[in-house]
Structure 1
Amino acid sequence: MSSPRSPVFEALLPTPLGPMVALASDAALECLHFADQPHPPALSHLSASRLPALFLSSGSSPAARVLQATSQWLDSYFAGENPSASLVAVGSPASTVAQAVFSHLAAIPLGQTTTYQALAHEVEVSTGKPTSARGVASVLAHNPVLLLRPCHRVVASSGALSGYAGGVKRKRELLTLERTWAGLA
């Protein structure tokens, strides 16, 4: 995450599932969440200045470029193009376990899911640190960058949809869209 003194800029980006708030520093996308989600990420260390749409489309600052890349990524994603998350620089999580969770999360293919338990096992094997399904769920619950870190692809062991910051309805819609795009529906 950026330091408290780093300038952070905010943009409201339209998507078919509702507008998303994007916060970017000069170095990376720090946050991407749905504007109406009940519990936005706790990023009290960030103090954002809202960017007008004109600045976002024509700005040349590093933060504007991060927000432009995010907007383009979202457009490609919702067009079913499966863009690489590496097209947008994303702030790094602080803990080794969170880094491992997000790394394994990125490997879940479009249109597919895994369980919290299976993800915990993968993280435990790769880090050598005991990791529980609840620990993984906690990391994902605090994921400040929705969609680019596709936590919506993680489901309960029973297959039930639960625990998505953007809401279970959106989680279902995202998984349905992705399955269609991947030819699995």
Structure 2
Amino acid sequence: MHLGLGERRRPAAVLVRPDWWRSLRAFRAARPDHDKEVDYYATPMGYAFTFERPAPGDTFSLNNWQMGFVREAMREAGAAAGQGLEQVLRTPGLEPGGQTVDMERFLSNSNWYVSGEEAGFIASRLRLAASKDVISDLMSFFDDAPDEVEQWIEDFADFNERSVPHEGYRVR
């Protein structure tokens, strides 16, 4: 197809709405202090964990940033391993073993299955690591670790513990 002088080929698909700025302007008008009160924890991208068998309180979620800290705590607790990385602190009693879960299950939200037995192991290892102050020691290596990290890890351990009688959970 030959284009004449001054003609441009129209793209086959528009990836961004041409009026995206109107939505942004409306959002900013509705929330003028948005930039001052940004909640970096509440992002739409992340991980949703759901019991294998539905039950009350069967969901838990973390955004991608939060899950990064939880993954590192799981690695240091010996609850999960892989990805070519090893523990930093190597605390006695928290070495990876036969029950250690493959870290790959927590690198994507691709409907991975974590059995009840594995969930119980994850919960017990995270609690053991917290009792030995391994979590707080590990977080001291991160410049951006917020104060809430230990609570996220405790909440994740609670969810794992609650999922045991429900045949584990899915990572979505």
> Normalising to structure 1: TM-score of the pair?
0.27
Q: Which has the larger radius of gyration?
A: 2
Structure number with greater CO (CA < 8 Å, separation at least 6) is 2
- TM-score of the two chains, using structure 2 as the length reference: 0.29
